Amino acid sequence: MKNYRIYICFIVLAVLMLLLYPKEGKFQYEYQKGRPWVYETLISPIDFPILKTEAEMLKEKDERASEMIDYYSYDPTVAPRMLEQFGHKAVELHLDGELTRDMYDHLSQAYARGIVADFGNADLSSKVISIKRDKRVVETPATDIYDIERVYEVLKSDLVFDYPGMDIDSIANRLDVKSFIVPNLLYDENTTQLVHKEAVNYISPTKGMIYAGQLIVSEGEIVTSDICQILDSYKEEYKESYGYTGSPDALLISHLFLIIVILGVFFFAVFFLDKSVFASMPKLLFLMMLLLISFAGVSILFQVDQRLLYLFPFAVLALYMSAFFHDDMAYAVYAVTILPLLIIPENGVELFFINLIGGSVALYAYGKLNRGWLQFVNALFIFIGMSLVCFAFKLGTGDLTYALKSTNFLYLGISAILSVVLYPFVYLFEKIFGFVSYSRLWDLSDTNNRLLQDLQYKAPGTFQHSLQVANLAEKAAREIGADGMLVRVGALYHDIGKMENPQCFIENQAEGVNYHAGLTPEESARAIIKHVSDGLALARKSKLPENVADFIASHHGHSLTLYFYNSYCNAGGDPANKEPFTYDGKLPRTKEQVVVMMADAVEAASRTLKDYSEESISDLVERILKNKFDDSQLAEAAISIKEINTVKASFKQYLQQIYHARIAYPKRQQPAKPAE
């Protein structure tokens, strides 16, 4: 039944992708700058304009920006006011009448030409400014305009020449001439910026024409930069004017075939890396959803504006996958997820490699930089990785300036930041699909959390046992490629039910106290077995994830409480009456659950050893795991004999390191007493 559901999911996904696929075909010619033209000689069938390259557009915008003209507004009230004040001051100081008239005329002429605040040290020889006067705008050479300092210096130099016998500096200071030199041309920043923006934005995108019947490229001819530019222009005009001229059925079949290829690669990537995904509909639907998001993003942005594809945060899809799957799986499926970049956009190869590197950096760096502000350092690394690839492709255009100024780098920076900003959606996916993210597992593995603190306080022996099981199991899990973090968390919580009745278990009993004294074997077994149901109740109350609670239910499987079962049999009980002594949990199914079950049994048994030699530890591990096999506790487990042998070897090595021989320190001999 599950197989049918999987097939239905793939069919629905294929239909959705087909509906999203842009309804246009590919240009019939494939070409590359520097390579020969492999088709027949191409004669233009239509008239079309030659489009400027992005590098040419940027260069022209820079030139327009350097030619920006400043706009000034003329204020007609300044000159009359300042000249009137000057006249009053001159009369007040009883200045010579002829000198006063000359100074007045100089100021009048300066105001008539126009005075600005300050030109500074700018080269005015080729500069032009626009002056708005009487609702008209007049372009005027900057050399015809005065600034305050120039008016003052020209006025003084002329008066010194005309009145050699007078102390002009002293008169100018008494009169405070500078106070009457006020700008009547005011810089209009809003108009300047507006006109500048319009001039830069309204640049013609074309630079010539190719007419019908004109040769574009000959067969075997090397595609130069100029020919490539003409071909690019022809392609754009052809797509806009004619679009796809072939059979609609052929186009549909083409798109369907490409979608089947993508889904086929997706299927085999999942199958070979983690086929258990097909047994979990939520996991499969989650990965399919990410593939659909990627395909939809590429298809929609391609039709809106291809440049926006540099803005789409594909790297966050890799982070979403790494939150719930191991890195090998996340990387492979992510590479499949961005395959639409190869087949839909024109510059698909560039976009694919940019985002492949971005996702790779995200997967590697986020494992180390996933806390607090360090996440934005991760964004920086993603940006650097993508930018280097983008720069390499842009540099291939042969224009270093264009490569450095490309606006795509701004989009890539935004994309890198979005990859971090959008990551918290992983918690929404966690809720929707019932997953447990690695971030949640990290939080659960913190021994300072409330539940583990309660275990440490109420059942300290069990807490220490759980820590040892976690260390033992995590090491073994990583050696067989299982999820080490999930194993560690499962081991830490597998015995939390013991804190409901800690004295029932020997590791928590005080010296001289025996909880089971006076109890029948059946009563003792019932009290021991109850820690599984108690643990599951605590897990529900504490809202532990289901896959963590599974370790509580499966760590004893359907095994017997052998100590009390043997006591019962030795007291004359019926050996066939096993039910009161059998755990009512569930058999382990995943590798992770098997590893925790085996680590729990081995660690507990290792405490009873009196001899910690290599041989005795090896015998213990072999005996414990053989009992699990003989008792059919691993009957439903998805683990191979080879992996079990690897786990056994890991257990033996770890226990030998824990219980290695200690050096016996010699006692210090007492010095001999002197003879009396």
- The tens digit of pLDDT for each residue in 214-263 reads 898 888 888 888 888 888 888 877 767 655 555 677 778 888 999 999 99
- Check whether 307 has a pLDDT greater than 90: no
Between these two residues, 441 and 550, which has the higher pLDDT value?
A: 550
Task: Give the pair of three-digit tokens for residue 413.
Answer: 């920076």
* C-alpha gyration radius of the chain: 42
CB 327 within 8 A of CB 256: no
- According to the model, what pLDDT value does residue 676 have? 46
* Cα 207 to Cα 230: distance, rounded to the nearest angstrom: 11
pLDDT for the residue 352: 94
Averaged pLDDT of the chain: 83
Percentage of the chain exceeding pLDDT 90 = 16
pLDDT in tens, 267-306: 999 988 887 788 778 889 999 999 999 999 999 998 888 8
pLDDT(34) > 70: yes
Q: Residue 197 half-sphere exposure, CB side, CA atoms within 13 Å?
A: 6
| SS3 call for 493 | helix
Predicted structure pTM score? 0.60
Predicted local distance difference test score (pLDDT) of residue 265 = 94
Residue 373 has pLDDT above 70, yes or no: no
Question: What one-letter code names the amino acid at 255?
Answer: H
In Å, how far are 458, 506, 515, 567, 609 from 512, measured between CA atoms? Answer: 19, 11, 10, 21, 21
Segment among 87-91, 179-183, 397-401, 407-411 with least mean pLDDT: 397-401
- Sign of the alpha-carbon torsion through 397, 402, 405, 407: negative
